Structure 1
Amino acid sequence: MRTKKTLEIVYILLIIVMATGTIIGKYTTLDYVSDNIFGSWWFCLLWAMGTAAGIVYFIQRKVRRPIIILLHLSFVIILLGALLTHLTSHKGMVHLRQGKVVNTYTTKDGNEAELPFSILLDKFNVTYHAGNMAAMDYASIITISENGKKEQYQVSMNNIYSGYGTRLYQSSYDEDLKGSYLSVNSDPYGIPVTYLGYALLFFGLIAMLIEPKGNFRRLLRKKAVVIVMLMMGYSVANAQPSLPRQTADEFGKILIVYNGRICPMETYAIDFTKKLYGKKNYKDFTPTQVLTGFMFWGKEWMREPILRLKGSELRDKLNLEEYVSPMSLFGQQGYILGPYLQEARSQENDNVARQLLDTDDKMMLLMELMQGNTLRVFPYMSKKGTVDWFSPHDKYPKSMDKAQQQYMRSILPLAGQLARQGKTDMVNELIQKLRKYQYTYGGNTIPSNTAIRAERIYNQYPFATILFIVNLTAGLLSILFITRKKRYRYFTGLMALSWCVLTFTLALRWIINGTIPLANGYETMLLLSWLIMIVSILTTRKLQLMTTFGLIMSGFMLLVSHLGEMDPSITPRMPVLNSPLLSIHVSIIMMSYALLSLTFISAIAYFFTRNSKRESVISVNKQLTDLSQIFLYPAITTLGLGIFIGAIWANISWGTYWGWDPKETWALITFLIYAIPLHTNSLPALRKPEKYHFFMLLSFLSILMTYFGVNYILGGMHSYA
């Protein structure tokens, strides 16, 4: 009993220390907490005590099941590998300049250390996405020399050099593109031991699901059903001058460099209107009408109350309404936000400061548009065959023909002049000429017709918004038809249709960006909903009320992405994300979150139904614990697989398989928390349904912290996810 108590205390302390460390890191630095908390002797001792207590307790329990022994042994080996890395690895940074031979690197402590070879930087390259706006990859071409032997290698993101017991990773580069920084990592003992632990863990987690005498297989032999409950502007048109809707729609087909990629102007117009107004449409105007309104009738539209001030604190401070005109921010003394900006930039954690900076960003967006600086709609192909895109007021290359320069500078002002004169036919003609110009000079930077059509479809219909309304409404209504099987099947069919629409939505985003849609918070929420629905569809025949589960939980996830103002815009990936491990890592992690969210719904359903006196509801209530555990076992398996596949990816990309980044730390905390209810033999209190479901309710807070808290509060390397 004493050993068990020690193990429990150490286990809880580890979770508390890790959670506290991520919060301290928010106000200091990741390096500080890595050195002084996660890398400290006492934290290592804490892990050692937990491991020792666990081994002793394991022996005392006389555990004989090979799968369970293997699973727990894998954690011991992983911790041993981590200890070897901590004690024996060497890390640092080497700065290379083109043509200069280097044979030393700078350690983390600032000391110089010898490399087992010499490095010569032959060339550094940055490759870009279409339009030369966003980096696709960074690559250092280097020559490694050792004992007269010379070999050339390319080190880039997700492509490391490994040799002579040392690995090199692309880290950074000099602004003149003639220098490069490579991370140096030598860990010959820790990595193989840790990877052995990962392999045993992968095998053990999967074996836990298929073991004939295991708890998961026993639970699957039971039938389980579930019930659950969850909850869920109009403007009058103004007579502002604008392009006719049809002409504005044609203008929306013009291509523009936006968010690091080339897309229809319509996409930029939608984001522009949302940024200013908070909604896709303003009154009866389409986004493209709003955009061209500011372009061609700037004076009139600057007096339109289209600017939304989100925070009440800022409105109270400046005595303004929620919606104001941009012109109202200019008084007799000039720009009324101006005197507050410098102070706001030094106090970004203050609500008023954040609201003020957000409003200033909107004003800068307006100014940039009206000056034409954001309108990069003119491609130019150099003699080398590379294509750059320019705005009307950019500095053009000297090699560009004067007539072409004149065309770029005059076409949009001419279109505005004709629009103000009401000569719509001539505006349409200019739009067609500009589109023809783009296709003539855009070369291979022009998106395919399929991608453009996909983007226009995606822009036209707010699929995710429609689906969250449909799924939540249908999920709530399905509760009324639980006992009417024939009618209840209609809701299963509706969920299948909703899944098809969401699949179509994800496919559109894939076609538009050319990469699997897993790169940001919005896309992962869509994937989470997609996974919840497919799991529910596949299990609803045996577990009837999975339809209600799937509809409500997927609708909730879509609602969260909608209310959380996650950015739905499509942007090129960061270079480090261009790895096949991205889709594997994120998909598996999202599957675990989807399954764990269903354990949360099971808990809610349990507490809603436990006092019912209806026999059918009582029967359902009794089976909710089994159903929750059916979700829990594969959830733990996928979460464990996802975390450690992510660790392997991190080792390939950043040179370390574990860096105590807030996201990975909280994922580990979540894993440790949800592993607790799998040990009901050691924790008999969790055999009681009420305590088990209460624990699952509280555990879901770790999911919320891992997914939302890290992204929007703690930050870190994963804040783009």
Structure 2
Amino acid sequence: MKLLKFAIGLCLGLLLIAAPLSQFQPSALDALETMTVQQGGRKKPLDTVAQETVAKIHGSTTYLHDGIRESSMETFLSLWLNNRNWNEEPFVLLSYRPLKEQVGLDPDQKHFSFETLMRNQALGAVVREAHQVEIRGEDLTRDQREAITLEDRLTLMLETVSDDAIAIVPHPTDIKGKWVGITEGQSLYPAESVAPLLANFATIKQTFLSGTRHLPLLAPLAASLKSGLTALSPEVYPADSVMRREVFFNHFHPFAKAWQLYGIAFIFMLAALWIKPLELYWSAIGLFVAGVAVQSYGFWLRMQIAGRPPVTNMYESVVWVGFGIAAIALIFELIYRSKYYLLAAAPLSVVCLILADSLPAVLDPSISPLVPVLRDNFWLSIHVPTIALSYASFALALGLGHVALGSYLFTPQAKSRIQLLSQLNYRVLQVGVLLLTTGIILGGIWAHFSWGRFWGWDPKETWALIALLCYLVPLHGRLVGWIGNFGISVASVVAFNAVLMAWYGVNFVLGTGLHSYGFGTGGSELVIASVVGLDLLFVLITAARYQGWLIKSGEPDSAVSPNPFGS
């Protein structure tokens, strides 16, 4: 019976993954989407170029124009073929409020036109100052880093509006040679070989300019152009299956499907906890397994595309942590059958994957060549995933800590549940400390080979050590009896702020150190600070309730303890 209910949940998850079946079939724009482009140090399909370009400039893969929601391909083709006045379109993302206030732009506006930003002299002064700071080898301020990022968006937009903006003509003989734009093809091939392609491209451009909402009309023309480009150099042009795999990954959205399955599994598990039918429990397990499976498949696809482990930037680390939370929780759940592991894990995995899926301007999902220090696949494959899995363990402990503190706050009489949650939490914290310690040691060895020293008090290294100490102290305190169940629950919530600083703060707030390849812009310290503040307020309220400060005089409360961190 258990196996049957598990199979039902798993099959339901697989049906949700497979729907609609049309996602497994080539689209009407297959030839256009799979046309190969050399860009950013690798060869990628035009579909990827369109999504990455629009997301980097606009902060989203779609664009609302005249009340019509355009796809990334429609918007990119409009940019590339320049069929409207893009100087005046409010298309360029600038969300960092302090910079907008500094240069006199509307702080409540999120997107600006190319012309507005280029004519802003105060903004130009900030950019020039940032470049001078870079030349001097000094660290950029947050405003300066945001200004440089904005300059990159403007440069990308300017470069995109050109027939030769993308390199689609392959090198004649060298598989690693430089590709060129369509009108530059005559520099590599005889004019008679390129002339039919130029005529084909001119027809595509004219067809598109006649109506941007008629992309299917481009399909046969794109197929002819792609066939001609392939025939120019069959040995150099990538196999169609390679491009089609990446297009499938782009449209399949495995990580989005994963969080949807985790969310449904959470609802089933919550029902199993309150209604207590065993059938719902095993169906929830089946759905959760389906979520882990589709996310694993997404990782495998991304590894095939990138040729490396998918853990090299902030986007990939967020997705990997979401996966680690789910996988670790599933392992513990199958061992202890407590229900609480999945209850604590599912919302956290959902949050990680939603953030990764909805913030392309902050968490850049594009696949780019690695910086030199990351080009050792051995160390990359063991150090970074180990650190990220430690973060996942601590995030799971954070979830269990919230469940436990919620029990202290609302159902303090549930002694057995509180005791169970403390035990579950303690096991996860032990795993997290083991993983983080191992990751720090492996990082030191890698640093010795890459930078010539094991430890240099780099901000990333320092905060990793701080995070480790923040968890070692309560674990040892629990071991010697200094703190009890309540203390370990509080520690699992409060100590995660050190992980948040090591993971997010060093990359987006400090922005200094040798780990510069992980730095980013666009993150909101105000939002993070608000969430952390509310979370700490929740801890304080729970502690006050636990100590009896919120209880009326004469009202009994079994949760009150003379030891503020006791059981």
**1:518 and 2:311 correspond:** yes
> Does the CA-based 8 Å contact 1:249-1:288 persist in structure 2?
no
Q: Deviations over 1:34-60 (max 9, x none)?
A: xxxxxxxxxxxxxxxxxxxxxxxxxxx
Taking a change above 3 Å as real, the CA distance of residues 419 and 651 of structure 1, as seen in their structure-2 partners, is same
Counterpart amino acid of 1:710?
V
User: Residue 475 of structure 1 aligns to which amino acid in structure 2?
Assistant: F
Once the two structures are TM-superposed, the CA of residue 428 in structure 1 deviates from its matched residue by: 4.5
Identify the residue that residue 416 of structure 1 maps to in structure 2. Answer: 205
In 2, the alpha carbon distance for the partners of 1:504 and 1:261 equals 22
* Partner residue in 1 for 2:396: 598
Moved more, 448-457 or 314-323: 314-323
Q: Does residue 337 in structure 1 map to residue 120 in structure 2?
A: yes
1:288 aligns with 2:78: no
Alignment of 1:608-627 (within 5 A): 608-613=406-411, 617-627=414-424
- In structure 2, which of residues 89, 100, 105 is the aligned counterpart of residue 318 of structure 1? 105
Does the 8 Å CA contact 2:314/2:363 hold for their aligned counterparts?
yes
Please say if residues 305 and 325 of structure 1, whose CA atoms lie closer than 8 Å, have aligned partners that are also in contact.
yes
Q: How far apart, in 1, do the equivalents of 2:302 and 2:343 lie?
A: 28
Question: For residues 491 and 386 of structure 1, what CA distance do their matches in structure 2 show?
Answer: 49
TM-score (norm 1): 0.58
Match of 2:41 among 238, 260, 283: 260
**Deviation at residue 711 of structure 1 after TM alignment:** 1.8
What SS does the corresponding residue of 1:387 show, helix, strand or coil?
coil
Corresponding residue number in structure 2 for 1:468: 259
Q: Distance in 2 between matches of 1:424 and 1:679?
A: 64
From 451, 462, 481, the equivalent of 1:654 is: 451
Q: CA deviation at 1:287?
A: 1.4
**2:289 counterpart of 1:504:** no
- Whether 1:487 and 2:272 are equivalent positions in the alignment is no
Q: Distance in 1 between matches of 2:171 and 2:46?
A: 18
In structure 1, C-alpha distance between the alignment counterparts of 2:348 and 2:107, rounded to whole Å: 39
Q: Is the 8 A contact 1:251 1:288 kept in 2?
A: no
Secondary structure of the 1:592 match is helix
How far is the alpha carbon of 1:505 from its aligned partner?
0.9
Q: Does 2:310 align with 1:543?
A: no
Change (3 A) 1:426 1:387: farther
Following the alignment from structure 1 to structure 2, what is the Cα–Cα distance between the partners of residues 380 and 578? 28
Residue 635 of structure 1 pairs with residue 432 of structure 2 = yes
Match of 1:557 in 2: 352
User: Counterparts in 2 of 1:90-109, with a 5 A limit?
Assistant: none
Q: Deviations along 1:54-83, whole A, 9 cap, x unmatched?
A: xxxxxxxxxxxxxxxxxxxxxxxxxxxxxx
Structure-2 change in CA distance of 1:444 and 1:661 (3 Å):
farther
Quote the Cα distance in structure 1 between the aligned partners of 2:142 and 2:321. 31
SS in 1 for 2:62: coil
* Partner in structure 2 of residue 432 of structure 1: 223
Q: Is the 8 A contact 1:326 1:363 kept in 2?
A: no
Per the alignment, residue 560 of structure 2 pairs with none
Which residue of structure 1 aligns with residue 496 of structure 2? 700
Cα separation, partners in 2 of 1:419 and 1:556, compared to 1, 3 Å:
closer
Distance (Å, rounded) in 2 between the aligned partners of 1:663 and 1:309: 27
Paired with 1:589 and 1:525, the residues of 2 have a C-alpha distance of 12
Corresponding residue pairs, total: 469
1:255, 1:367 → 2: CA distance?
21
Amino acid at match of 2:168: V
User: Contact 1:378/1:391 (CA < 8 Å) preserved in 2?
Assistant: yes
The one-character-per-residue Cα deviations of 1:637-691 (angstroms, maximum 9, x if unpaired) are 22111111222222223322223322222222222222212323786432x2222
- The one-letter code sitting in structure 1 at the alignment partner of 2:158 is M
Q: Match of 2:205, as an amino acid? A: G
Q: 1:325 to 1:670 in 2, by over 3 A?
A: closer
> 1:175-194 to 2 correspondence within 5 Å?
none
Taking a change above 3 Å as real, the CA distance of residues 491 and 419 of structure 1, as seen in their structure-2 partners, is same
| SS of match in other structure, 2:453 | coil
Q: Aligned with 2:171: secondary structure?
A: strand
- Mapped contact 1:467–1:498 kept (Cα < 8 A): yes
SS, match of residue 308 in structure 2: coil
Does residue 580 of structure 1 match 2:374?
Answer: no
Residue type matched to 2:459 in 1?
P
SS at match of 2:517: coil
Distance 1:710 1:297 in 2: 40
Q: Is the 8 A contact 2:269 2:343 kept in 1?
A: yes
**Cα separation, 2, equivalents of 1:355 and 1:677:** 38
Distance 1:306 1:665 in 2: 39
C-alpha displacement of 1:631? 1.1
> Structure 2 CA distance, aligned partners of 1:637 and 1:313?
40
Residue 366 in 1 paired to residue 157 in 2?
Answer: yes
Matched, 1:251 2:42: no
Shift of 1:267: 0.5
User: How far off is 1:440 after superposition?
Assistant: 3.1
1:389 to 164, 179, 203: 179
Q: What letter matches 2:313 in structure 1?
A: N
* Alignment of structure 1 residues 671-686 onto 2, 5 Å: 671-680=468-477, 684-686=481-483
**Letter paired with 1:451:** V
Query: 1:526: Cα distance to partner?
Result: 1.9
Letter in 2 for 1:601: G
Cα RMSD (Å): 3.4
- Corresponding residue of 2:57: 276
Q: Distance in 2 between matches of 1:701 and 1:419?
A: 51
Q: Secondary structure of 1:270's match?
A: helix
Partner of 1:544: helix, strand, or coil?
A: coil
Q: Deviations over 1:605-639 (max 9, x none)?
A: 12110144486x43211222221111122222221
Deviates more, 1:360-369 or 1:640-649: 360-369
Residue matched to 2:10? none
| 1:425 Cα deviation after fit | 9.5
Whose helix proportion is higher, 1 or 2? 2
- Report the Cα distance in structure 2 between the residues aligned to 1:288 and 1:296, rounded to whole angstroms: 12
Runs (5+) with no aligned partner, structure 1? 1-244
| 1:470/1:305 CA distance change after superposition, 3 Å | farther
Q: Structure 2: state its 5+ residue gaps.
A: 1-25, 132-139, 519-567
Does the Cα contact within 8 Å between 1:345 and 1:353 map onto a contact in 2?
no
Secondary structure, counterpart of 1:653 in structure 2: helix
Residue 477 of structure 2 aligns to a residue in which SS? coil
Residues 318 and 640 (structure 1), Cα distance of their counterparts in 2 relative to 1, 3 Å cut: closer
- Could you state the TM-score of these two structures normalised by the residue count of structure 2? 0.73
The change in CA–CA distance for 1:468 and 1:716 in structure 2 (over 3 A counts) is farther
- Residues in 1 aligned to 2:110 and 2:394: alpha-carbon distance in whole angstroms: 41
User: Could you tell me whether the CA contact under 8 Å between 2:171 and 2:178 is conserved in 1?
Assistant: yes
Bigger shift: residues 708-717 or 475-484: 475-484
Tell me, in whole angstroms, the C-alpha distance in 2 between the residues paired with 1:424 and 1:691: 61
Contact 2:261–2:287 (CA<8 Å) still a contact in 1?
no
Superposed CA deviations along residues 234-278 of structure 1, whole A, max 9, x for unmatched, are xxxxxxxxxxx9775532221111222101111011122223333
Percent identical: 22
SS in 1 for 2:44: strand
**Corresponding residue number in structure 2 for 1:224:** none
